[in-house]
Amino acid sequence: MGSDSEQRLLTVAAAQLGPIESLTTPRADVLARMINLLQDASEKEVRLVVFPELTFTTFFPSYIINSPEEVAKFFEPASPNDAYAIINSPNAKPVIDKATELGIDISFGYAERWTTEPGKFVDYNTAVYYSATQRQCVAKYRKIHLPGRYEPDQRPGVTQQLEKRYFTPGDLGFQAFRVSGLIDGALKSEDAKMLASPERTHGKGDPILGMLICNDRRWAEGWRCYGLQGVELVLEGYNTTAFAPQYDGTEVEQEAEALFHHRLSCQAGSYQNACYSIHAAKAGKEDHGSLIAGSSIVDPNGHIVAESKTKGDELVYATIDLAKCRRGKERVFAFDKHRRVEHYSRILDQVGVEEPSLLDRSQA
Ligand code: CDV
Q: Express each pLDDT in 306-321 by its tens digit.
A: 999 999 999 999 999 9
Q: 352: Cβ–Cβ under 8 A, 6 or more apart, which residues?
A: none
The torsion angles phi and psi of 95, rounded to 5 degrees, stand at: -75, -40
Active site residue 204: no
Q: Which atom of ligand 1 is nearest to the CA of 239?
A: 1
Q: What is the pLDDT of residue 198?
A: 62
Tell me the β-bridge partners of 304.
298
For CA atoms 129, 69, 18, 63, the dihedral sign is negative
Q: Is the pLDDT of residue 197 over 80?
A: no
Pocket test of ligand 1: the residue of 62, 241, 261, 295 to mutate, having most ligand atoms within 8 Å of its CB, is 241
Nearest CA to 279 out of 46, 50, 56, 41 is that of: 50
pTM above 0.95, yes or no: yes
Catalytic residue, candidates 98, 143, 204, 282: 143
Pocket test of ligand 1: the residue of 239, 243, 263 to mutate, having most ligand atoms within 8 Å of its CB, is 239
Q: Give first-to-last CA distance, the chain, whole Å.
A: 53
Q: Which atom of ligand 1 is nearest to the CA of 217?
A: 10
Rounded Cα distance between 273 and 212, Å, is 14
Compute the distance from residue 262 Cα to the ligand 1 centre, in Å.
10
How confident is residue 5, by pLDDT bands cut at 50, 70 and 90? low
Average pLDDT over residues 49-75: 97
Of the chain, the percentage scoring pLDDT greater than 90 comes to: 94
Rounded Cα distance between 356 and 245, Å, is 35
Nearest CA to 242 out of 280, 290, 279 is that of: 290
Catalytic residue, candidates 53, 163, 236, 307: 53
Answer for the pair 46, 12: CB distance below 8 angstroms, yes or no.
yes
Find the largest Cα–Cα distance for the chain.
75
Active site residue 98: no
Using alpha carbons only, give the angle 279, 173, 178 rounded to the nearest 5 degrees.
65
Compute the distance from residue 76 Cα to the ligand 1 centre, in Å.
21
Q: What are the Cα distances from residue 220, in Å, to 34, 209, 216, 224, 281?
A: 31, 17, 8, 6, 20
Active site residue 143: yes
Rounded Cα distance between 135 and 141, Å, is 18
Answer for the pair 104, 133: CB distance below 8 angstroms, yes or no.
no
Q: Which atom of ligand 1 is nearest to the CA of 240?
A: 11
Q: Express each pLDDT in 206-250 by its tens digit.
A: 999 999 999 999 999 999 999 999 999 999 999 999 999 999 999
In this structure, the residues whose C-beta lies within 6 A of any atom of ligand 1 are: 53, 147-148, 161, 214-215, 218, 238-241
Pocket test of ligand 1: the residue of 214, 217, 236, 263 to mutate, having most ligand atoms within 8 Å of its CB, is 214
Answer for the pair 230, 254: CB distance below 8 angstroms, yes or no.
no
Q: What is the pLDDT of residue 3?
A: 46
